[in-house]
């Protein structure tokens, strides 16, 4: 059974348009620096899982596209790059601490903005809407996934 996820990206860094314009519409999901999100990637996420592409830290936060998990995990090279904002001097190449996986954008949708998500009773229980939620990757209940996909593609 596929699982479903919501992945936050800052559009200044990688927007849905950037992802769609990448070769194969596929981007390495760099910069995850939290253990919970890291462990979702390492232990639960599988190729072909569904992904809601979410823009955060921007004027109009919300879901902007549909994507899929396109690879297993490998070490995130930005952790070893002193020039990168994601550099982690404590992580050694022989024991990489942070992982990434590839995400393939499938299509852009209309904006399902955060205010609309909050105003939609069917979505009230989404993990990402929990107060103060800070995880960059959150699991999405299949019921929520189907509701959103149906609504966005209708």
Q: Could you tell me the two tokens for 130?
A: 């929990």
Q: Which stretch binds DNA (CB under 7 A): 11-19, 20-28, 52-60, 101-109?
A: 52-60
Per-position x/- string for 122-151, each x denoting binding to DNA as judged by CB under 7 A, each - no binding: --------xxxxxxx---------------
Determine, following the binding rule CB under 7 A, whether residue 35 of this chain makes contact with DNA.
Answer: yes
Q: For residue 119, give the 3-state DSSP assignment.
A: helix
Determine, following the binding rule CB under 7 A, whether residue 107 of this chain makes contact with DNA.
Answer: no
Do the Cβ atoms of 47 and 101 come closer than 8 Å? no
Determine, following the binding rule CB under 7 A, whether residue 56 of this chain makes contact with DNA.
Answer: yes
The CB-of-1 to DNA minimum distance in angstroms stands at: 25
Q: Which stretch binds DNA (CB under 7 A): 20-28, 55-63, 71-79, 103-111?
A: 55-63
User: 18 or 24: whose CB is closer to DNA?
Assistant: 18
Q: For residue 149, give the 3-state DSSP assignment.
A: helix
Instruction: Say how many residues touch DNA, by CB under 7 A.
Output: 19
The helix (run of H) or strand (run of E) holding residue 151 is helix 142-153
Query: What is the spatial distance between Cα 45 and Cα 25, in angstroms, rounded to a whole number?
Result: 19
Query: What is the spatial distance between Cα 60 and Cα 48, in angstroms, rounded to a whole number?
Result: 28
Q: Which stretch binds DNA (CB under 7 A): 51-59, 64-72, 99-107, 143-151?
A: 51-59
Q: Would you tell me which residues interact with DNA (CB under 7 A)?
A: 8, 33-37, 56-58, 61, 114-115, 130-136
């Amino acid at each position: 059974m596929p699982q479903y996820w919501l992945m936050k990206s800052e559009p200044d860094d990688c927007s849905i348009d950037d992802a769609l314009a990448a070769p194969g519409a596929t981007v390495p999901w760099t910069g995850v620096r939290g253990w919970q999100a890291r462990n979702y990637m390492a232990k639960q996420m599988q190729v072909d899982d569904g992904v809601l592409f979410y823009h955060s830290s921007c004027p109009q936060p919300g879901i902007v596209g549909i994507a899929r998990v396109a690879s297993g995990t490998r070490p995130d090279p930005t952790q070893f790059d002193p020039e990168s904002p994601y550099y982690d001097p404590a992580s050694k190449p022989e024991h990489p601490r942070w992982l990434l996986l590839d995400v393939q954008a499938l299509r852009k949708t209309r904006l399902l903005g955060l205010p609309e998500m909050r105003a939609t009773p069917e979505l009230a229980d989404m993990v990402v809407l929990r107060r103060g939620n800070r995880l960059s990757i959150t699991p999405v209940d299949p019921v929520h996934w189907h509701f959103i996909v149906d609504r966005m593609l209708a």
